[in-house]
Amino acid sequence: MLDLAAQHADIKEELLSGFASILDMGHFVLGDSVQAFESDLARLCEVRHGLSCNSGTDALWLALRGLGIGDGDAVLCPAYSFFATAATIVRVGAIPIFCDIDPATLNLDPQDAIRRIETTPNLRAVISVDLFGRACELGELAEICRDRDLPIIQDAAQSIGAVDSQGEKIGKATRIACFSFYPTKNLGALGDAGGLVTSDKDLRDEIARLRVHGEIEPGLFGKIGINSRMDALQAVALSVKLRHLERWTQTRRRLALQYDALFAERGATPGNERISAGRLRLQTPVAACDPARHTYHRYVVRVDAQTRPGLVRALEEEGIASEIYYHRGLHEQPALQAYRPEIPLPETERASRETLALPLFPELGADGVERVIGVVTRTLEAAQV
Ligand SMILES: Cc1ncc(COP(=O)(O)O)c(C=O)c1O
């Protein structure tokens, strides 16, 4: 699904010179290079404070604990996301309240979220997810959260570098935003890493303590935290890559538009329209009205549930990777059965049966897109006769 070797070959000299300086300094955990990366991250998001940690999962845990969320509290989140979005809620002792998604954006459906907010006692926060890199449009939900003093934790694991529906940088409008720098992310470290941004100084300070076991001053521990200190080598790699992120994101957007245009030529339907008879049975993602709202971390199409396995196989036979994100809704995960809502989540369940991520990464190139489209079109046309 991506070519990290090509990406690293392009920036090898910059990376090696950064690593050499860390070896010379001999400071491997936290320290100046980590602080420099935290400042870079805050600057990118136009937010006062950036903090680093060891994964996107830790970032979510730290955000929840930093806001004082724990036993018996409820936290709302979309049912269509990576497992960590909900698992961290459970790990702090709280209860995930799942809401359904908008089939057009695949992000949480604000109206369904509002309905569930109104019927949930002890609700303490909302986690919004910018799925596949598309900024979640909160609309009226943002005002309702403000009126009820409900903080929004933005799971921006996939959306670094985008802007939201108000044109603000991702991470700026919410109380706190959490990033994953897992190697396959748009900004990927050379191992696990994560980060947070907030303009709330008290929250920043609380999280800075929680990521070093809850240490208040040397040897004095006020709360139970975790060990989630970023390595200097990861910080250096991330600062180098951050300098190239905008260029990589622009290339992703260009390739996504190429996918959209070529699929349209072959009879596919944009995701906000119904597939009519005689068309290629594939829906392309609904375009964001401003391309800057999407990082295209993943290019996700919809096909009929019964044709998806054959399409995955056909791509594999041609040496083309594809990926199903996610095979089931969070409420359908065995580990989260205790939190399955009584009200159904039909759009989450339909998306998990129909969506498929096709390769999209900066080094794919226009030829790569054409090749994928050729195989997808041939396979679907053969399935339709
Ligand atoms: C939406 C979302 N949230 C959270 C995470 C967790 O991040 P990490 O793998 O860095 O712990 C991921 C990573 O895949 C993600 O995609």
Q: What is the CA radius of gyration of the chain?
A: 21
User: How close is the Cα of 50 to the center of ligand 1, in Å?
Assistant: 18
**For the ranges 199-203, 375-379, 381-385, which has the lowest average pLDDT?**
381-385
All residues at 6 or more sequence positions from 306 whose CB lies less than 8 Å from its CB, including other chains: none
Burial class (CB in 10 A: 0-12, 13-18, 19+), 51: buried
Structure confidence by residue, pLDDT tens digits, 173-211: 999 999 999 999 999 999 999 999 999 999 999 999 999
**Index of the ligand 1 atom closest to the CA of residue 58:** 11
Ligand 1 pocket, 108 CB below 6 A? no
Ligand 1 pocket, 322 CB below 6 A? no
CA-to-CA separations, 202 to 38, 48, 299, in angstroms, rounded: 17, 12, 38
User: How close is the Cα of 265 to the center of ligand 1, in Å?
Assistant: 34
Percent of the chain scoring above 70 in pLDDT: 100
User: How close is the Cα of 64 to the center of ligand 1, in Å?
Assistant: 15
Mean pLDDT of 149-172: 95
Ligand 1 pocket, 56 CB below 6 A? yes
Q: Looking only at Cα atoms, what is the longest distance across the chain?
A: 71
Q: Hey, what domains does the chain have and what are their CATH numbers?
A: 4-240 (3.40.640.10), 246-384 (3.90.1150.10)
User: How close is the Cα of 180 to the center of ligand 1, in Å?
Assistant: 5
Residue 273 confidence class, pLDDT cut points 50, 70, 90: confident
User: How close is the Cα of 275 to the center of ligand 1, in Å?
Assistant: 32
| The pLDDT of residue 330 is above 90 | yes
288 vs 377, higher pLDDT? 377
Ligand 1 pocket, 178 CB below 6 A? no
The pLDDT, as a whole number, for residue 277 is: 81
The pLDDT, as a whole number, for residue 291 is: 87
**Index of the ligand 1 atom closest to the CA of residue 131:** 1
User: How close is the Cα of 20 to the center of ligand 1, in Å?
Assistant: 30
The pLDDT, as a whole number, for residue 276 is: 83
Ligand 1 pocket, 55 CB below 6 A? yes
Ligand 1 pocket, 379 CB below 6 A? no
Mean pLDDT of 298-320: 97
The pLDDT, as a whole number, for residue 165 is: 87
User: How close is the Cα of 335 to the center of ligand 1, in Å?
Assistant: 17
**Index of the ligand 1 atom closest to the CA of residue 182:** 10
Residue 272 confidence class, pLDDT cut points 50, 70, 90: confident
Structure confidence by residue, pLDDT tens digits, 115-149: 999 999 999 999 999 999 999 999 999 999 999 99
Closest C-alpha to 300, from 357, 373, 362: 357
| The pLDDT of residue 248 is above 80 | yes
CB atoms within 10 A of CB 157: 29
Residue among 136, 155, 180, 326 to mutate when testing ligand 1 (max atoms within 8 A of CB): 180
CB 47 within 8 A of CB 175: no
Alpha-helical segments (H) within the chain: 4-10, 12-25, 32-45, 56-66, 83-91, 110-118, 140-147, 201-210, 232-265, 308-317, 346-354, 365-384
The pLDDT, as a whole number, for residue 89 is: 98
Rounded Cα distance between 378 and 292, Å, is 32
Residue among 82, 155, 178 to mutate when testing ligand 1 (max atoms within 8 A of CB): 82
The pLDDT, as a whole number, for residue 343 is: 86
Percent of the chain scoring above 90 in pLDDT: 93
Ligand 1 pocket, 82 CB below 6 A? yes
Q: At what angle do helices 110-118 and 140-147 cross, to 10 degrees?
A: 30
The pLDDT, as a whole number, for residue 275 is: 84
Neighbouring-strand partners of residue 96: 75
The model's pTM is 0.97
User: How close is the Cα of 84 to the center of ligand 1, in Å?
Assistant: 6
Instruction: Report the chain's mean pLDDT, rounded to a whole number.
Output: 96
Ligand 1 pocket, 155 CB below 6 A? yes
